[in-house]
A and B are shown apart, each in its own frame.
Chain A
Amino acid sequence: MKTRKKWLFLCAACLSLTAMLIYAMAVYQPILFVAGDHIFRKDDWERIKPIYFHGRPHTPEEEERLLEQRSLEELVLYMGRQMGVRIDERIIDEHMKQLGSTKEEREQVLRQMNMTEADSVTNIRRALIGFEVKRRVTGEITVSEEEINSYYREHLESFRIPELRTIYYVRAGQADKPLMDKLKTIRAERFPSLLKEYDLEGRAGFHEWISQAELSATVGEEAAEAVFRSPIKQVVGPIVSEQWTYWFLPDEIMPAKTQSLAEVREKIYRTLYLEKESIVYGKWLEEQKRANLYCLFTENLKNNRFWAFWSDLPVRLQLLFQSHA
């Protein structure tokens, strides 16, 4: 009896071992990340990967970066559930109207991105929860007048704007004698019509509110200096720059100035607010990674099933005990 029992145990053990090995080699899906109660496996990633890459080639680093992004999104969603964040479906319905007023219009737009309306609704719901979590975490941030004033004083140089000009130009290649002859007698009022005539061939153009430094990068220092020295509505040229001969028409001037605090107050406020928001949210996210079960296994993108089965064992045991705790 004793020997029979022993053999029975041995057979059961061998069968279990074989079944487990078959499972590990043929069925097991390696874990890519765990975020709170969410386990994300390789087959989940293969299913959603086309949304990220649209079939285009990508590097392993890019894939790892997107996987990490997805894992952090899941952690935020997990925290959203813990916080009791709920999303009103009517907000999603309203939002979807941006893609088209009818279902057919929306489906047509989404089809171009290999997406269905259901995919889109899921993604928007996820992001809405994420935004709500962020809003709750960063809701207490304030920016004082003193902070705005001191930022303005310390960054005054950033608020200096050089003189800007709106400039038309026409140009002829060195071998283009007919156009060169035509442009020799060009008058200011002819520039807008020449722009229409020659823009497609790259022989005429227009710079709206451009600085001297910016123009220099395009046509060279000498030409830019001449254009910025000239009064407006006067033809400047011919000026040779590389393989082109240019005629310019400065049309409007916006004098150099330093923006006042009143003009840039809103910009400074947003800069400081976003800076603080980014710090507070980043810190909170790091805390959540430590406080909740968060593990990322990017190496499992390359590992085979069998190897991943064993390397994932500690986290699987951790999950097992956590789910029964």
Chain B
Amino acid sequence: MKWSKMLAVTLIVSSLAAAAPAFAEREIANEPAWDSEPAPRNFDPKKREEADKRVFDKESIRMAANPIIVIDPGHGGDDPGATGNGLKEKDLTLDIALRTRNYIVANYPATVYMTRSSDTTVSLSSRTSFANARNADFFVSMHINSATNTSANGIETYAYPGSVNGKRLATETYNQLKSSFSSHRGVKEYAYYVLTYTNMPATLGETGFISNASDASKLAQSSFRQTLATQYANGMHRYWWGF
């Protein structure tokens, strides 16, 4: 009799353990609800109404919705950037940048600015002063590579020499983007203008070679550009959140 009792108890405990999540998981956070205590003496419904009507000024939104990110689609307007295989760098960078912006805005409370959001000519000094004026938390410049040797292909990202956080941003974006390419050219340091004259950590990404037929055929597909955009956004997320 004893053994059957033991078996029954064990089974009941196991069954309870299997059901444990039902007790532990809650749909609503276990915090005091409105009816758990009477309203405080200083509660004034009129004041609350006034507060509810208060228009949020840009500054309070900015404070709540951080970080401020400036995305820089390389080239544009009179400057097509690299060209090859029927593609122009300025069009690809703009498309990837707009997709990245949308992905970030749809998923994170970031304020995203673009140095250009159409096919216009923007000088390098305008791009960096734009980012500096917005007091951005970080800056991501998007480019497509090109080489006279048409077999060159793959991904590389850049940071300003000696910039600890720039390197971290470049590494995080690189780690995400590299799964889209078979050739991993590494995280490099170089004093590009936009990396030099921005006040904040900055990176410059070269996602594929327009001069390489295989990279170009992938870049021509909108689904591939969406993947690159998602990877850029995930890299920025990891940089900012720390995981």
Contacts and interface: CB of A to CB of B under 8 A. Distances in A.
Contacts of A196: 78
Interface in A122-138: 123-124, 127-128, 130-131, 134-135
Given A16-B11, A155-B162, A241-B148, 7 more contacts: A13-B8, A20-B18, A69-B238, A123-B106, A127-B109, A271-B164, A285-B242
A110 B106 contact: yes
B181 interface: no
Interface string A263-277: 000110011001100
Interface of A: 2, 6, 9-10, 12-13, 16-17, 19-20, 23-24, 28, 31, 37-39, 41, 52, 54, 56, 58-59, 62, 68-69, 72-73, 81, 84, 88, 90-92, 94-95, 98-99, 109-110, 112-113, 115, 119-120, 123-124, 127-128, 130-131, 134-135, 155, 157-158, 161-162, 164, 195-196, 199-202, 205-206, 208-209, 211, 214, 218, 241-244, 266-267, 270-271, 274-275, 278, 281-282, 285, 309, 313, 316-317, 319-320, 322-324
Interface residues of B, number: 80
B17 A81 contact: no
Nearest to B176: A62
B42 interface: no
A208 B124 contact: yes
Interface in B186-213: 190-193, 196, 198-201, 211
B196 A120 contact: no
A323 B109 contact: no
A113 B105 contact: no
A209 B193 contact: yes
Contacts, number: 202
B23 A320 contact: yes
A316 B18 contact: yes
Nearest to A55: B223
B66 interface: yes
Contact of B242 (A161, A209, A281, A309): A281
Contact of A113 (B61, B102, B234): B102
A110 B106 CA distance: 7
A33 B160 CA distance: 38
24 contacts: A9-B1, A9-B7, A13-B8, A17-B11, A20-B14, A24-B18, A52-B230, A69-B238, A81-B31, A91-B64, A109-B102, A128-B65, A131-B109, A134-B241, A196-B78, A200-B83, A218-B148, A266-B199, A270-B201, A313-B14, A316-B18, A316-B20, A320-B17, A320-B23
B56 A16 contact: no
B137 to A, nearest CB: 8
Contacts of A317: 17, 20
A115 B102 CA distance: 11
B182 interface: no
Main secondary structure of the interface of A (DSSP, over half): helix
B200 A13 contact: no
B18 to A, nearest CB: 6
B36 interface: no
A12 to B, nearest CB: 6
Interface in B111-170: 111-112, 123-124, 132, 137, 146-149, 160-165, 168
Nearest to A9: B4
Contacts of B31: 81, 84
Nearest to B241: A130
Contacts of B88: 200
Interface in B79-109: 79-80, 82-84, 88, 99, 102-103, 105-109
A124 B200 contact: no
Nearest to A77: B29
A285 B243 CA distance: 10
Nearest to B25: A39
